[in-house]
Homo-oligomer: A and B are copies of this chain.
Amino acid sequence: MVSDSQESSGQGAAAATPLTGNAIIAQSGGPTAVINQTLVGAVKEMVKSKEIKAMYGALHGIEGAINEDFIDFRAESPRTLAQVAKTPSSALGSTRMKPTAEDCHRLFEVCQKRDVRYFFYIGGNDSAETAHIIATEAEDADYEMRIYHIPKTIDNDLLENDHTPGYGSAARFVALALMGDQLDNRSIPGVKVDVIMGRHAGFLTAASVLGQQRSDDGPHLVYLPERPFKPDQFCRDVQQVVDELGRCVVAVSEGICDEKGEPIYKSGEVDEHGNVQLSGSGALGDMLVNMLQTHLGENGRYRTDTFGYLQRSFPDIMSKPDSDEANQVGREAVIAATTGEHHTGSMTIKRVGTARTYAVSYEREPLEKIAGGTRTVPDEFINAEGNGVTEAFRDYALPLVGKLPRAGWLKAKRI
């Protein structure tokens, strides 16, 4: 299943020779519902390999690695690993630390001291960056080490990936939430604004449409950070839906910006108590609803929810394809590191099937192609008006979230 795509820079190009030693594995960045699948997939593959001896799990990512705060994965039972795999959020703990060159140097010293010859870092583009710096350090010191980044992010914003582990489950949460919320809005009509995570990429917000069944199912409007957000247009759009349906459900990305690229809601604003208001709370939703009240009138029913951290760590509703792929991408990284021809890389997920015959392959890409970059929603997934998504997006995303439940509705005509 593993194939190598384009050629890497120097440190990745050596032909594979058996390399025996110890391994460090760690998790970084925001947790996801399936990041432990990746951890456990990688650990199980390491157990099978002849090359890897001790398996050090670094606590809280690079921090644990630098401070030699490790657990020994060989002491974990298969039963524990199976249970951990199904559990959301990073079992090793995570970190937001972006290491300096000095930190990477210290980490590298730990690797030398403990004969670490394999380093696996599960995370987003910052984690790929970290792996890249360590790889450069190792090459400069002529220390042989296989260094692999393994992808995860609910934002789905890693370059070179068709999609990333964690996205499917978060997208499933968002799709389910909107299924319920638009039924709620049918039941008690009004205007509802749902604010969804994703930073500068709109993939997660776009997933709000995936549970739609009827032509008038919400969300009726979807605003992604890939298009400038124009308050006037927003108010007109909502007015038009309200005129037609008597209600309106809006999905909006937390990262929407104006035409100059400035965030619509700027964290750091000061509230009426003189306190700095936090991002991540309901402030953007409140601001948008206030805009609508000013434009559409105070009398309607206006509500807003900000889905917040529930999106990334909700148990019990993980997407099955996402869980399976998260596990497999961990395995593939270990296989590539132990038997592939490249000493370093980032394991990626490519799509090899169509919407109907969905299938993926796992391919190693050079670290520097993933490090630091951000992938955003492509134009063909966004409608011409910039207030909705296309069929092409549905075809892309539906296979990622697993089978969604179907809502029922009363069909008899009114008497």
With A289-B278, A317-B316 as known contacts, state yes or no: A310 contacts B310, CB within 8 Å. Answer: yes
Q: Is A272 an interface residue (CB 8 A)?
A: yes
Q: Is A324 an interface residue (CB 8 A)?
A: no
With A94-B187, A408-B87, A415-B72 as known contacts, state yes or no: A176 contacts B281, CB within 8 Å. Answer: no
With A272-B271, A303-B278 as known contacts, state yes or no: A70 contacts B407, CB within 8 Å. Answer: no
Whether B176 lies near A314 (C-beta < 8 A) is yes
Q: Is A287 an interface residue (CB 8 A)?
A: yes
Whether A188 lies near B269 (C-beta < 8 A) is no
Whether B290 lies near A286 (C-beta < 8 A) is no
Select from chain B the residue with minimum beta-carbon distance to A54: B415
Whether B282 lies near A283 (C-beta < 8 A) is yes
Contact partner of A272 (CB less than 8 A), chosen from B83, B269, B304, B411, is B269
Whether A313 lies near B271 (C-beta < 8 A) is no
Whether A305 lies near B303 (C-beta < 8 A) is no
CB interface residues, A 181-213, toward B, < 8 Å: 181, 183-184, 186-188, 192, 211
Whether A310 lies near B307 (C-beta < 8 A) is yes
Interface pick from A4-12, A73-81, A325-333, A383-391: A73-81
With A408-B80, A408-B86, A413-B71 as known contacts, state yes or no: A309 contacts B187, CB within 8 Å. Answer: no
The total of chain A residues at the interface (CB under 8 A) is 92
Q: In the assembled complex, which residues on chain B have CB atoms less than 8 Å from the CB atom of A308?
A: 303-306
Rounded to whole Å, the gap between the CB of A312 and the closest CB of chain B is: 7
Q: In the assembled complex, which residues on chain B have CB atoms less than 8 Å from the CB atom of A73?
A: 412
Whether B305 lies near A415 (C-beta < 8 A) is no
CB interface residues, A 355-412, toward B, < 8 Å: 404-412
Whether A281 lies near B272 (C-beta < 8 A) is no
Q: Is A248 an interface residue (CB 8 A)?
A: no
Contact partner of A310 (CB less than 8 A), chosen from B94, B181, B290, is B181
Whether B293 lies near A286 (C-beta < 8 A) is no
Whether B309 lies near A414 (C-beta < 8 A) is no
Q: In the assembled complex, which residues on chain B have CB atoms less than 8 Å from the CB atom of A83?
A: 406-408
Select from chain B the residue with minimum beta-carbon distance to A282: B282
CB interface residues, A 38-86, toward B, < 8 Å: 56-57, 59, 68-73, 75-77, 80, 82-86
Whether B96 lies near A188 (C-beta < 8 A) is yes
Complexed CA–CA distance, A70 and B415 (Å): 5
Fill in one digit per residue for A86-108: 1 if any B CB lies within 8 Å of its CB, else 0: 11111111111000000000000
Whether A31 lies near B71 (C-beta < 8 A) is no
Whether B313 lies near A412 (C-beta < 8 A) is no
Complexed CA–CA distance, A30 and B301 (Å): 14
Rounded to whole Å, the gap between the CB of A112 and the closest CB of chain B is: 17
Q: In the assembled complex, which residues on chain B have CB atoms less than 8 Å from the CB atom of A272?
A: 269-272
Q: In the assembled complex, which residues on chain B have CB atoms less than 8 Å from the CB atom of A91?
A: 408-410
Whether B93 lies near A187 (C-beta < 8 A) is yes
Whether B304 lies near A278 (C-beta < 8 A) is yes
With A408-B85, A415-B71 as known contacts, state yes or no: A183 contacts B31, CB within 8 Å. Answer: yes
Complexed CA–CA distance, A31 and B82 (Å): 37
9 closest pairs, A vs B, by CB? A83-B408, A282-B282, A281-B282, A305-B308, A89-B183, A180-B313, A75-B412, A275-B290, A84-B408
12 CB < 8 A contacts A-B: A31-B187, A71-B410, A73-B412, A84-B410, A91-B409, A176-B316, A177-B314, A180-B310, A180-B313, A269-B272, A310-B310, A316-B405
8 more contacts with CB within 8 A, not counting A95-B188, A271-B271, are A33-B180, A91-B409, A176-B315, A271-B286, A271-B290, A282-B283, A307-B310, A317-B317
